[in-house]
Amino acid sequence: MSTPILEIKDLHVEIDHKPILNGVNLTVKGGEIHAVMGPNGTGKTSLAQTLMGHPHYTVTQGEVLLDGQDVLAMKTDVRARAGLFLAMQYPSEISGVTTANFLRTAINARRGEGQQIPLKEFRDKLDATMKFMEMDPKFSNRYLNEGFSGGEKKRNEILQMLMLEPRIAILDEIDSGLDIDAIKVVAKGVNSLAGSNFGVLLITHYQRILSYVKPDVVHIMIDGRIVKSGDYHLAEELESRGYEWVRTALLDQVQ
């Protein structure tokens, strides 16, 4: 399969008639890792949710293309089957549905009729992936996210990503609430998919995870738009000077 390309062009989004994204431009290609950083309430999660088609968000302007295809015209499940993946900040708890059953259903939804994954192949892949993610095998038979700790939920998101093998992954604060050991495991998972067929949009509040998942490009987002982009050093500068620096020094420039 060809190298994926996700293009976000002049994206404007509202929630309950309140503007929340004000013209986001961003392109992520296979083989690239982009970090989007910014203070709370600045639209990072809204961008992630909009890209996946969350029903609460309304796009008022702009476009999103995956390999030239109009993503905004697709329903959420079609986006997923086209290769988009969103690791959510707050994954839903689904009672009565085991993680294993859910994953098998999701893999089969991608494969389509007549090409269902054989049970043994699925089981082997799940076992190996859980081992790689240093997860207790019992998790696969627990109800999806129900009673999981914050860290377990994040790990489970990455497990799902590894099982589904998306082309572009959007990771929304995958590092929040994790201790350093857990961050390393999550990073190991993300890095294991690295290659020209896999692009990452990593949304984070802190520079910490970027020591383990090295971004090619760092974007700073404030008030619903990207105000500065740069290489890895931008994240370090942000870490030392704080978001207030961005707000005073950069926001004036773009306005």
- By beta-carbon proximity to another protein, the closer residue of 68 and 112 is 112
Q: Show the tokens assigned to 207.
A: 């520079």
| Spatial contact of 9 and 70, defined as CB atoms under 8 Å apart | no
CB of 103 to another protein, least distance (A): 8
CB of 177 to another protein, least distance (A): 18
CB of 59 to another protein, least distance (A): 16
**Beta-bridge partner residues of 204:** 37
- By beta-carbon proximity to another protein, the closer residue of 65 and 74 is 74
- By beta-carbon proximity to another protein, the closer residue of 38 and 53 is 53
Interacting residues toward another protein by CB under 8 A: 52-55, 75-77, 79-81, 85-86, 88, 91-97, 102, 105-106, 109-110, 143-144, 160, 164
CB of 91 to another protein, least distance (A): 6
68 Cβ neighbours under 8 A, 6+ residues apart:
5
- Please name the residue that has the structure tokens 């992520």: 28
CA distance 73 to 180: 39
- By beta-carbon proximity to another protein, the closer residue of 109 and 128 is 109
Cα torsion for 44, 48, 103, 32, to the nearest 10°?
Answer: -90
**How many CA atoms does the CB half-sphere of 205 hold within 13 Å?**
13
The candidate with the shortest Cα–Cα distance to 8, out of 53, 62, 73, 87, is: 62
- By beta-carbon proximity to another protein, the closer residue of 91 and 189 is 91
168 Cβ neighbours under 8 A, 6+ residues apart:
4, 6, 28, 30, 66, 83, 84, 85, 198, 199, 200, 201
CB of 58 to another protein, least distance (A): 15
- By beta-carbon proximity to another protein, the closer residue of 42 and 145 is 145
CB of 24 to another protein, least distance (A): 20
